[in-house]
Amino acid sequence: MRIFLITRSINPPWNEGVKNLVRGIIEEVKEHQFIVPTKKGFSFGKDNVKEIFISFGKESYEVPLREKLRLWKYLLKEKVDLYHVILTPKLYLPYLIQPLANKRGVKIIQTVTNFIENRGKKIYFGDKIVVLSKHTQQRLQEMHIDSEVIYPGVEIKRAIESRKSQKDFPWTGRSTILYPGDLNQEIINRLLYIIFHLPPWINFLIAIREKTRRERKWKVFLEKITKEKNLKNLFFIGEVEDMIAVISSVDVVIFPVPKITKKLEIPLVLLESLALGKPLILSASPPLKEILIEEAGFVVEEENDFPVKIKLLLGRKELISRFSQNAKKLVAKYFNLSTMAKNYCRVYNSMR
């Protein structure tokens, strides 16, 4: 089958969830032909992949209108058997894609990367709906929409091999926790509570990509507080090439996030952390708590308990060791790239 992947530009740097999800499908599914939007000058180097160039300039987290228009031009041009939409649901998508698919007799698979509240049923328009969590599946069931759960996956071998190139960081050799996520007012408040309730022997690393001006302001705000309070155990990093090396350098990864709205609802960075044997401490918000299907960390019901769980975990090496082993098994069983790709291949075959 010729499958047109309707998504954002899929190209390096591999620093965004949807890009990595799509890359995983392309690299693992070999029996189908893919048409993939990407950046001028980049190639996957695969016989079953045709690149279409919609991006020519600087990388942007928000997809520019000009890229959307170029993608639409190729949609009108290419003859395919299947459309696979991998995007956060938008109100305009069904009005653009569904009529074109109906006219050409092309079926649609829609991967819902994140459940959007109060948008109604129309944004879920695929002939086959794939979701990333049981939470979203349940929410769609309440709307009388059928869906199938295919958990996102990470390549365990790639994570382990990348870990071999251990690097030294300023926090290396000391107990360190990592927060690898976005910033907003609520998350800032939660991070500050954790910071002020941690003993100085615990390093706190915050990895922020500064996707927007607002996030840059929040980072500056946190850095200002760090200086004012003379906090020597707080570190910041921005965009890095080797996030695997950063994750490998810490002991525990935390995610005190009440709700995920702008990325995959199961962040791949958390799955990569598990693959590297890092215990997680997560907010008890769906679908985050689905990640810890087996004991590989803590799900925190009361947000003020984050410092308690951090100190408990870092104070018990045998607990970290047990959680670490469980983390690797958890990814191998539920969140590995090979299983994800096989499930998508099965779904593609069912649409013939």
Superfamily of 156-334 according to CATH: Glycogen Phosphorylase B; (3.40.50.2000)
Q: Are 10 and 37 in contact (CB under 8 A)?
A: yes
Looking at the domain 2-153+336-350, which fold is it? Rossmann fold (3.40.50)
Q: At what angle do helices 317-334 and 156-163 cross, to 10 degrees?
A: 140
At 161 the pLDDT is 60
At 261 the pLDDT is 74
Chain position carrying tokens 């499958």: 3
- CA distances 187 to 50, 125, 222, Å, are 40, 33, 11
- Of 169, 158, 125, nearest to 143 by C-alpha is 125
2-153+336-350 against 156-334: fold identical: yes
Q: Where along the chain do its domains lie?
A: 2-153+336-350, 156-334
At 13 the pLDDT is 87
**What is the pLDDT tens value at each position of the chain, 352 positions in all?**
999 999 999 999 888 899 999 999 999 999 999 999 999 999 999 999 999 999 998 777 778 899 999 999 999 999 999 999 999 899 999 999 999 999 999 999 999 999 988 888 999 999 999 999 999 999 999 999 999 999 999 987 765 665 555 567 888 888 999 999 988 889 999 999 999 999 999 999 999 877 777 888 888 888 888 888 888 899 998 877 778 889 999 999 999 998 887 779 999 999 999 999 999 999 998 999 999 988 999 999 998 999 999 999 999 999 999 999 999 999 999 999 999 999 999 999 999 8
At 162 the pLDDT is 55
At 163 the pLDDT is 54
d(CA 69, CA 56): 13
DSSP assignment, residue 290? Answer: G
